[in-house]
Amino acid sequence: MTDRVALITGGARGIGRAIALDLAAQRWAVAVCYRTSEREAADTAKAITDRGSRALAVRCDVSDPAAAGALVHQVEQTWGRLDALINCAGPYHRVNLLEETPEGWAEMFAHNLHPIFYLSQAAAAGMKARKYGRIISFSMANADQMIAQPEITAHYIAKAGVLILTRTLAKLLAPHGITVNAISPGFIDSGSAPPGELAGMAKRIPAGYIGAVSDTVAAVRFLLSEEARYVNGTNIHVSGGWGI
């Protein structure tokens, strides 16, 4: 896989960073997209090059369709191709639905769902021309259950939308040698939540413990592999049984 190229949104920290470093260890060239985490993105890019691979850190607001398209074009111009698009960015905020603002509501869709459409549409042309591609997007465990979520309503609807978009893209792109799949993490110790808060969640997880970032990385590694060439339009839960 020495000639493979990946673009990872939200790749500066947490799960996205871990995926970037895992791909670098496999000699992928990795472009890390970030919106605000400039220092972390620079650190991730350095860690990629320290592993002997090529790195690109790009600030981009992928909620802007023109910027998203330009980002894909930049990666293709830099390295001549784009083999894998991994959509890790997924900010959220907690607020009761009846207290949500129009701006807060729109923000959840703008940063969780819309970029996947913009980036996938932009990346599809090159992938179709090469008859190869992998698109992986992150939803959340239980988003396929369609349950009430009073405190994260817009975020939850956006993550459910990710699953519908994933299936639709898979159906359209499968004839061109492209797979499109989703990963739905449960409680993962990615550094975004206090350890005490995560520990309190363990009793709600059938497996009895919080997942590690490596659990999610392993799922991505599988979906990018040739062993997963016939896996298309699926949603892999990485949750220890939570949310099913």
CATH of the domain at 85: 3.40.50.720
DSSP-derived secondary structure letter, 209: S
Answer whether residue 81 is part of any domain. yes
| Span 73-126, pLDDT tens digits | 999 999 999 999 999 988 889 999 999 999 999 999 999 999 999 999 999 999
Residues taking part in catalysis: 156
39 located within any domain: yes
Please state the pTM of the whole predicted model: 0.96
**pLDDT tens per residue across span 124-173:** 999 999 999 999 999 999 999 999 999 999 999 999 999 999 999 999 99
SS3 24: helix
Amino acid in the structure at residue 41: A
Q: Which domain holds residue 110?
A: 5-238
As a whole number of angstroms, the distance between CA 12 and CA 45 comes to 8
Contacts 24+ apart (CB under 8 A), 70-79: 71/7, 71/33, 71/119, 71/122, 72/7, 72/119, 72/122, 72/123, 72/126, 73/122, 74/31, 75/5, 75/7, 75/31, 76/126, 78/31, 79/5, 79/29, 79/31, 79/54
pLDDT tier, 224 (very low <50, low <70, confident <90, very high otherwise) = very high
Within-domain flag for 243: no
pLDDT of residue 199: 78
Q: How far apart are CA 65 and CA 63, in angstroms?
A: 6
Number of domains in the chain: 1
